[in-house]
Amino acid sequence: DGGITQSPKYLFRKEGQNVTLSCEQNLNHDAMYWYRQDPGQGLRLIYYSQIVNDFQKGDIAEGYSVSREKKESFPLTVTSAQKNPTAFYLCASSISENTEAFFGQGTRLTVV
């Protein structure tokens, strides 16, 4: 089945630790995105990538890092510099930046 997979669904980390969220797609999409969603809020763009080995910062990139070494994969690292990392993280992919996006099931990160 084609789709986009985020793992894990739930993640707990201690404050001060870096954590990497996985996002894999087998849709052959060029564009991939990471969003953060806080309770009752919309989606805020963290990073996006339109092609392998290239990515751009979104509105709230501080404290996060990404890589795009393969077309299928776009992992997000939440660093200890992110002041309030507890949130619901969503990854998406699309053929290009102006076509419909497919979302993963999300990762709920809790930092204690």
Partner 1 sequence: SQKIEQNSEALNIQEGKTATLTCNYTNYSPAYLQWYRQDPGRGPVFLLLIRENEKEKRKERLKVTFDTTLKQSLFHITASQPADSATYLCALDKLIFGTGTRLQVFP
Give contact residues for partner 1 (rule: CB under 8 A).
33, 35, 41-45, 48, 88, 90, 92, 94, 97-106, 108
Question: Is the dihedral angle over the CA atoms 29, 72, 67, 21 positive or is it negative?
Answer: positive
Helix (H) / strand (E) element for 32: namely strand 31-37
- To partner 1, the closest distance from the beta carbon of 47 in angstroms equals 12
Closest to partner 1 by CB, 45 vs 52, is 45
- To partner 1, the closest distance from the beta carbon of 100 in angstroms equals 4
Residue entry with tokens 């805020």:
44
- To partner 1, the closest distance from the beta carbon of 6 in angstroms equals 8
**Whole-angstrom Cα distance, residue 34 to residue 112?**
22
Closest to partner 1 by CB, 75 vs 80, is 75
Given the DSSP bridges, would you call strands 64-66 and 10-13 parallel, antiparallel or unpaired?
unpaired
Closest to partner 1 by CB, 79 vs 102, is 102
What's the Rg (C-alpha) of the chain? 13
- To partner 1, the closest distance from the beta carbon of 30 in angstroms equals 13
**Whole-angstrom Cα distance, residue 57 to residue 7?**
22
Closest to partner 1 by CB, 35 vs 64, is 35
